[in-house]
Structure 1
Amino acid sequence: MSAPDTARNYKDTVLLPKTDFPMKADLVTREPQRLAKWQEGKLYQRIVAQSKGKPTFILHDGPPFANGDVHMGTALNKVLKDLIVKSKTMAGFHTPFIPGWDCHGLPIEFKVVKSAAGLTPVQIRTLSEAEARKYIDIQRTSFKRLGVFGDWENPYLTLDPGYESGILRTFGKAVEKGLVYRMKRPVLWSYGAQTALAEAEVEYKEKTSPAVYVKFRALSGRLFDVDPTASFVIWTTTPWTLPANLAIAVHPEFTYVIKKYRAKLSEDGPSTTEYFVIAKELLEKFEDRFFANLVDFEGFEPIEIKGSELVGSVAKHPFLDRTSKVIGATFVTADTGTGAVHIAPGHGADDYQAGREHGLDILSPVDAEGKFTAECGLPDFVGKHVFSSNDGIIEILTAKGAILGNEKYVHQYPHCWRSKTPIIFRAVEQFFIKIDAIREKALSEIDKVTWLPASSRNRIHGTVSGRPDWCISRQRTWGVPCPVFYDASGEIIMRTDIIGKVADIVEKQGTNLWFEKDDVWWAEAVGLPADTKRGNDTLDVWIDSGCSHVSVLDRHPELHCPADLYIEATDQHRGWFQSSLMMSIVARDAAPYKSVITHGFVVDTSGKKISKSDQGTGKSSKPMTADHYYNKYGGDMVRLWVSSVDYQNEVPFSEELFQQTGESYRRIRNTFRVLLGNLHDEPKDFPQIQDSTDSDSEKKSAESRICGNPSYTLIDRWILERLHAITAECVTAYAAYDFRKVFTVVNSFFATELSALYIDITKDRMYCDAANSPRRRATQAAIREITETLCKLLAPILAFTADETWEHLGHSDSVHMQVFPQPNPAFAGTEATAAVEELLKVRVVIQQAIEKARQEKKIGSNLEATVALTLPAEGFTHPVFSDPATLHEFLILSDLHITRGTDLAAVVTESSHHKCARCWKHLPDVGTHSEHPTLCGRCAEAVG
Structure 2
Amino acid sequence: MVEYKRTLLMPKTNFPMRGNLPQNEPKRQEKWSSEDIYAQVQKRTEGRPLFILHDGPPYANGDIHMGHALNKILKDIIVRYKSMSGYHAPYVPGWDTHGLPIETALTKSGKVKRKEMSVAAFRKLCEEYALKQIDRQREQFLRLGVRGDWWNPYITLDKAYEAQQIKVFGEMAKKGYIYKGKKPVYWSPSSESALAEAEIEYHDKRSPSIYVTFDVVDGKDVLAGDEKFIIWTTTPWTIPANLAISVHPELDYSVVKVNGVKYVVATGLLETLEKELEWERYETVQTLKGSQLEFVQTKHPIYDRHSVVILGEHVTLDAGTGCVHTAPGHGEDDYIVGQKYGLDVLCPVDDKGYLTDEAPGFEGLFYDVANKPIGEKLESVGALLKLSFITHSYAHDWRTKKPVIYRATSQWFASIENFRGELLQAIEEVEWIPKWGETRLFNMVRDRGDWCISRQRAWGVPIPVFYGEDGQPIITDETIEHVSNLFREHGSNIWFEWETSELLPQGFTSIHSPNGTFTREMDIMDVWFDSGSSHQAVLEEREGLQRPADLYLEGSDQYRGWFNSSLSTGVAVTGKAPYKGILSHGFALDGQGRKMSKSIGNVVVPNDVMKQLGADILRLWVASVDYQADVRVSDEILKQVSESYRKIRNTFRFLLGNLHDFNPATDRVEDEDLHGVNLFMLVKLNEVVEKVKKGYEEYNFSSVYHTLHNFCTIELSSFYMDLAKDTLYIEHANHPSRRAIQTVMYETVVKLSKLISPILSHTADEVWENIPNAVEGSVQLSDMPEARSFGDVESLKATWNQFMSIRSDVLKALEQARNEKIIGKSLAASLTLYADDDNYELLQGIDGLEKLFIVSKVNLVKGLNKKVEQAVTFEGIAVFVEAADGETCERCWTVTTTVGSHAEHPTLCTSCAETVQNYYQEEGTE
Distance 1:644 1:842 in 2: 31
Identify which of 661, 666, 681 aligns with 2:646. Answer: 666
Cα distance in 1 for partners of 2:664, 2:70 equals 43
2:538 maps to 552
Pick which of 385-394 and 484-493 moved more: 484-493
Correspondence for 2:44 among 44, 50, 59? 50
| Alpha-carbon distance between aligned partners in 1 of 2:41 and 2:449, rounded to the nearest angstrom | 45
CA distance in 1: counterparts of 2:400 and 2:499, whole angstroms: 31
Distance 1:111 1:860 in 2: 69
584, 587, 591: which one aligns with 2:577: 591
**One of 907, 914, 925 as aligned partner of 1:941:** 914
The question of whether the paired residues in 1 share the 8 Å contact of 2:840 and 2:862 is answered with no
Residue of structure 2 equivalent to 1:881: 844
SS at match of 1:577: helix
Task: Give the Cα separation in 2 of the matches to 1:723 and 1:836.
Answer: 14
Judge conservation of contact 2:482–2:504 (CA < 8 Å) in 1: no
* Partner-residue secondary structure (3-state), 1:217: strand
Alpha-carbon distance between aligned partners in 1 of 2:199 and 2:794, rounded to the nearest angstrom:
56
Match of 1:211 among 209, 212, 215: 209
* 1:244 and 2:248 correspond: no
Deviation (angstroms), 1:147: 1.0
Determine which of 749, 773, 787 is the counterpart of 1:823.
Answer: 787
Q: Give 1:399's aligned residue.
A: 380
How big is the shift at 1:852? 2.5
Match for 1:373 among 356, 365, 373? Answer: 356
Q: Which residue of 1 aligns with 2:607?
A: 627
> Once structures 1 and 2 are overlaid, which stretch shifts more, 496-505 or 155-164?
496-505
Does residue 482 of structure 1 match 2:463? yes
**Is the Cα contact below 8 Å between 1:208 and 1:410 reproduced in 2?**
yes
Residue 447 of structure 1: aligned partner: 428
Are residues 1:70 and 2:64 paired? yes
> How far off its partner does 1:713 sit?
4.4
CA shift for structure 1 position 486: 1.6
Q: Tell me the SS of whatever aligns to 1:563.
A: coil
Partner of residue 814, structure 1: 778
Tell me the residue number matched to 1:693.
none
Equivalent residues of 2:208, 2:235 under 8 A apart: yes
Q: Equivalents in 1 of 2:95, 2:709: separation in Å?
A: 35
Give the corresponding residue for 2:529.
Answer: 543
Aligned 1:162-201 pairs, distance under 5 A: 162-201=160-199
CA–CA distance in structure 2, aligned partners of residues 572 and 924 of structure 1: 73
Verify the 8 A CA contact 1:715 1:832 in the aligned structure 2: no
Structure 1 pair 56–371 and aligned structure 2 pair: CA distance change class (3 A): same
- For the structure 1 residues 607 and 322, does the alpha-carbon distance in structure 2 shift closer, same or farther, using more than 3 Å as the test? farther
**1:232 equivalent among 229, 251, 258:** 229
How far apart are 1:301 and its partner, in Å? 4.6
Q: 2:138 aligns with which of 140, 149, 153?
A: 140
Report 1:737-752 matches (<5 A): 737-752=699-714
Assess if the C-alpha contact under 8 Å between 1:553 and 1:563 holds in 2.
Answer: yes
Q: Flag structure 2 segments of 5+ consecutive residues without an equivalent.
A: 510-514, 865-875, 918-926
Deviation (angstroms), 1:843: 2.0
2: CA distance between counterparts of 1:706 and 1:433?
68
The reply on whether 1:24 has 2:5 as its aligned counterpart is no
- Note if 1:129 corresponds to 2:127: yes
For residues 426-466 of structure 1, give each alpha carbon's deviation from its aligned partner in whole angstroms, at most 9, with x where no partner exists: 11100111111111011111111111111110011011111
1:516 corresponds in structure 2 to: 497
In structure 2, what residue type is equivalent to 1:844? Answer: S
Following superposition, the deviation at residue 908 of structure 1 comes to 1.4
Contact 2:482 2:505 in 1 (8 A): no
Choose from 264, 280, 285 the match for 1:295: 280
Q: Distance in 2 between matches of 1:791 and 1:749?
A: 13
Per the TM alignment, residue 874 of structure 1 is displaced from its structure 2 partner at its CA by 4.0
In 2 relative to 1, CA 684–540 (structure 1 residues): closer, same or farther, beyond 3 Å? Answer: closer
Q: Displacement of 1:531 after TM fit? A: 2.5
1:865 aligns with 2:829: yes
SS at match of 1:63: coil
Partner residue, 1:793:
755
The SS at the match of 1:497 is helix
Aligned partners of 2:506 and 2:402: how far apart in 1? 41
8 Å CA contact 1:62–1:567 kept in 2: the answer is yes
Alignment-derived partner of residue 921 in structure 2:
none
Residues 824 and 224 from structure 1, CA distance in 2 versus in 1: closer, same or farther, beyond 3 angstroms?
same
CA contact (8 A) 2:590 2:602 kept: no
Could you tell me which of 640, 650, 673 is aligned with 2:630? 650
Structure 1 residues 876 and 203: alpha-carbon distance in aligned structure 2, compared to 1, 3 A threshold: farther
Query: Residue by residue, what CA displacement relative to the aligned partner does 1:343-366 show, whole Å, maximum 9, x if unpaired?
Result: 000001111001001111000011
Looking at structure 2, the residues matched to 732 and 759 of structure 1 have their Cα atoms a distance apart, in angstroms, of 26
Q: Deviations over 1:676-724 (max 9, x none)?
A: 111122248536xxxxxxxxxxxxxxxxx554351x3412111111100
Identity of aligned residues (%): 42
C-alpha separation in 1, matches of 2:375 and 2:791: 82
What amino acid sits opposite 1:930 in the alignment?
Answer: A
**Equivalent-residue separation in structure 1 for 2:453 and 2:284 (angstroms):** 54
| Range with bigger deviation, 216-225 or 925-934 | 216-225
Q: In the alignment, which residue of structure 2 is the partner of 1:254?
A: 251
CA deviations 1:130-172 (Å, max 9, x no partner) are 1111111111111111111111111011101100000001111
Residue of structure 2 aligned with 1:346, choices 324, 329, 333 = 329
Does structure 2 conserve the Cα–Cα contact (< 8 Å) formed by 1:498 and 1:526?
Answer: no
- Aligned 1:526-541 pairs, distance under 5 A: 527-528=508-509, 531-541=517-527
> What's the secondary structure of 1:826's corresponding residue?
coil
What is residue 88 of structure 1 aligned with on the other side?
82
Distance in structure 1 (CA, Å) of the matches to 2:107 and 2:480: 29
Give the CA deviation at 1:828. 6.9
SS of the counterpart of 1:234?
Answer: strand
> 1:327 maps to what in 2?
310
Question: 1:114 & 1:217 partners in 2: Cα distance?
Answer: 50
Q: Does 1:851 align with 2:837?
A: no
In the TM superposition, what is the alpha-carbon distance from 1:882 to its structure 2 partner? 4.1
State the Cα deviation string for residues 613-663 of structure 1 (Å, max 9, x = none).
x4x4x6x62343321111221111111111111111111222222222101
Q: Which residue of 2 aligns with 1:700?
A: none
Residue 708 of structure 1, aligned match among 666, 671, 675: 671
Give distance in 2, aligned partners of 1:551 and 1:53: 24
Query: In structure 2, what is the equivalent of residue 158 of structure 1?
Result: 156
Q: Write the distance in 1 (CA, Å) between the matches of 2:856 and 2:79.
A: 51
| Cα deviation code 1:558-597 (max 9, x no counterpart) | 0001111111111111111111111111211111111111
1:518 deviation in Å? Answer: 2.4
Deviation by residue 1:28-52 (Cα, 9 ceiling, x = unmatched): 1111111111111111001101111
The answer as to 2:655 corresponding to 1:675 is yes
Tell me, in whole angstroms, the C-alpha distance in 2 between the residues paired with 1:622 and 1:387: 34
The equivalences for 1:711-730 within 5 A come to 712-730=674-692
Please tell me the residue identity of whatever aligns with 1:786: T
C-alpha change, 1:349 and 1:150, in structure 2 (3 Å) is same
Cα shift at 1:18:
1.2
Secondary structure class of the residue paired with 2:765: helix
Q: Which amino acid aligns with 1:887?
A: L
Partner Cα distance (1:517, 1:207) in 2: 45
**Are 1:112 and 1:124, in contact at CA under 8 Å, matched by a contact in 2?**
no
Aligned with 2:91 (options 97, 113, 135):
97
* TM-score using structure 2 length: 0.94
1:355 match: 338
SS at match of 2:53: coil
Instruction: Quote how far apart the aligned CAs of 1:877 are.
Output: 3.0
1:924: how far off?
2.8
Question: Does the residue aligned with 1:92 lie in a helix, a strand or coil?
Answer: coil
1:354-395 residue CA offsets vs partner (Å, 9 max, x unmatched): 1001111000011000001101122xx211100011011110
Q: Structure 1's 387 and 144: CA in aligned 2 closer, same or farther, altered over 3 A?
A: same
Structure 1 gaps of 5+ residues are 263-272, 688-704
Deviation string, structure 1 residues 158-190 (Cα, Å, up to 9, x no partner): 101100000001111111111111111111111
Shift of 1:110: 2.2
Contact 2:479–2:505 (CA under 8 A) maintained in structure 1: no
- Give the SS at the match of 2:550: strand
Alignment match of 1:431 (pick from 412, 424, 428) = 412
